[in-house]
Amino acid sequence: MNSSASPTPAPPSTDPRLERVLFVHAHPDDETITTGGTIAALVEAGAAVTVVTCTRGELGEVIPDDLSTLRDDQTALAVHREAEIASAMDDLGVGDHRFLGSPGARTPGLPERAYRDSGMVWRSDAVAGPTPDLHPAAFCAAEFGEIVSDLSAVVQSVRPTAIVSYDEDGGYRHPDHVRANRVAVRAARLVGVPFFAIVAGAESAEGPEAEALAADDTVLTMDTRHVAPRKVAALRDHRSQIEVVDLPGGRAGIRYPHGVVEPVTVHESFRFVPDPTADEGASEMARLTTGGRVAALVLALVAGAVFGIIGTVMHQSTITVAGSPVWSGLVLALLMSLTLLAGLRSVFGSRAMAGAAAVGLVGALVVLWQASPGGSVLLPANTPAYGWLVGVVVVVTLVLGWPRLRGLPGRGATPPGDATRASSVGAQPAGDKLDALPDAKGTPQT
């Protein structure tokens, strides 16, 4: 997602027409309240925008009295809100909207399903909390892996260049928002797509908070004043849940069911959230002193040389299987070399450590290739020797040339490919308290 709609021009290398942005929201109206201006601005700039809504908001509070019949009919309210968001999508210019669990947003081979609104209760501080009663089909009652798989089906279909959803507390801690964050982050991490979290309250921030946001180079602010009428029109479409009111100065405001009135935002902010496991290994080198780095590189060089010597000595060894010799020594020597180099690069997240070991490994082979004083050689001109030499070159090229090796699971990192656990995001360490935020049942998500 680029900032073509903000006062600061986007870099020349970025083109909004090439962007494919996936927005993941919990209920109908969330997409317009928090990201409606950005959605409209991106569409206007030529970007491809997909909006996924996780539930139909069956438990939403109905405001206008002329819709009072919907207050006790969750099924009818769900249908009504489907129509509301369809109108809102038209006003924002979105042509690709999907409900999670429906065709196009469901794991191939599984029957269509609807994730229900998990509900919430307003606390005295105007922050949402979990409801004591959770429907079996509720979004927060579903298996986390199933939800991630459904959203991943959308990701595979759309191939987004960015995924946008809530921050780790869901904006105001609504259980569905919190879980939408976990699901969106996990889906983004599985395919390496950049994730942007909505920065709640950024426009109204003052003093030190505003200064901190302005100084944060991971925060992107979209100036959406030019599409404000489209956002306001889309907000009016969601009239069962919110009321658009006039504020002093000619600005529009939103009145929520609990009575709070807020101005309609025309500057929407998002924070790029890096993968906490992506640079986990690199931090091992970063936290070392200069002397420590030098010592580590020297040790890696020595380790590579030792492995080169051991491999050279043992690569000619064979075992007999069914009457035929098998070059077991060669296979074991190559596996040892691969384990050393890949392990160093994975753990330290740095080609430098693996490269130092590779220099030691190859250097040992070069030295040992020479004839010994007695005239014998440790690397005779035979097939195992050539296999050892070529194999080492292949191992070094593969490990150092591979685009990326993730750090090994550790210190609470989420193992790559494990779709049954949520990823931690933001400044908190992986595996920290964020994974233990309560779902609508009030129990930790695992």
The chain-wide mean pLDDT, for the chain, equals 82
The closest of 23, 19, 139 to 85, measured between CA atoms, is 23
> Tell me, what's the pLDDT at 434?
33
> Tell me, what's the pLDDT at 419?
32
- List of the chain residues with pLDDT < 70: 1-17, 124-126, 277-288, 349, 371-377, 404-446
> Tell me, what's the pLDDT at 389?
87
Q: Where are the domains of the chain?
A: 16-278+414-436, 282-401
> Tell me, what's the pLDDT at 312?
82
> Tell me, what's the pLDDT at 86?
98
pTM: 0.64
Q: Where are the alpha helices (DSSP H) in 274-350?
A: 282-286, 290-314, 328-348
Alpha carbons 155 and 216: distance in angstroms, whole number: 28
Alpha carbons 382 and 334: distance in angstroms, whole number: 17
Q: Would you state the structure tokens that stand for residue 171, as one six-digit string?
A: 């904006």
The phi, psi pair for 113, rounded to 5°, reads -145, 160
> Tell me, what's the pLDDT at 16?
61
> Tell me, what's the pLDDT at 122?
72
CATH class of the domain at 16-278+414-436: alpha beta
> Tell me, what's the pLDDT at 441?
34
Cβ count within 10 A of residue 329: 19
